[in-house]
Amino acid sequence: MKRCSVTSITWLFAILSFSILVGCASTRLTAFTDPAFSGKSFTNPAVYANTADLEWRRSLEESVVAEMRKLGLPAVTTFELIPPTRDLNPEDRVRILLENKIDTLIVIEVRQSGVEEQYIPPTGATTTTSGTVSTYGNTGTYQGTSYTTVHGGYNVSKPWAEMRTFVLDVASGRKAWVASSFTGGNAFASFQDIRKSYSKKIVEQLLADRVLASPSPSQ
């Protein structure tokens, strides 16, 4: 039977410890479909993040579109179709969407976002001692050093965001679906983790509610 070396075991514990520190986030969501659109599925969505912050707008749109494209959905960002440098009236915006065969506009609103500061109280301490033994004749001396590590006693920052999402029928301008969501991250998460969690959850829900048509196996 093959035995694991001490070095292998050390690396295993190092990998497991690192995995615990990876940032992650989770999203809870509540959605409602307008009865007038029950049974109707859209096939060519565009995504619009309604925020004045261009970085947030681009990253949110690209994140949601990326999740859709992973599943074979032909989604696009409005950042591509209607660049923020163009001051267009609503009629021209709708015209551009229709010319590009967009049948639904997914609108994302960031209602609130921030970072929760949480204090982790001390839970104990660990003392480790290392040293060497020196021998001379029949006597020996030991020289060691002790280190004490305190667990806890520090602050952690957890990012979070509240979103409101609408699905608009481009042809009629009517709201077909609406959802509110809250996404929270752990102490090692970033807002990139928040965006990824929200994007994955919102696309899963749009497909589960049949607001978006599931891609065919050939796509």
Does residue 144 lie in a domain region? no
Q: What is the pLDDT of residues 29-44, one digit of tens each?
A: 999 999 999 999 999 9
Does residue 8 lie in a domain region? no
Copy the structure tokens of residue 116.
């929760």
Structural domain range at position 175? 25-120+159-208
Of 12-21, 37-46, 151-160, which gets the smallest average pLDDT? 12-21
Question: Could you give the CA distance from residue 46 to residue 102 in angstroms, rounded to a whole number?
Answer: 6
Does residue 52 lie in a domain region? yes
Tally of domains within the chain: 1
What's the CATH code of the domain at 163?
A: 3.40.50
Q: What is the pLDDT of residues 44-90, one digit of tens each?
A: 999 999 998 999 999 999 999 999 999 999 999 999 999 899 889 99
Does residue 9 lie in a domain region? no
pLDDT band at 16 (very low <50, low <70, confident <90, very high): very low
Copy the structure tokens of residue 106.
């997914």
Query: Is the per-residue pLDDT at 105 higher than 60?
Result: yes
Does residue 182 lie in a domain region? yes
Residue 166 and residue 175 in contact, taking contact as beta carbons nearer than 8 Å: yes
Residue linked to tokens 């915006």: 93
Copy the structure tokens of residue 157.
């920052």
Of 69-73, 151-155, 168-172, 205-209, which gets the smallest average pLDDT? 151-155
Does residue 197 lie in a domain region? yes
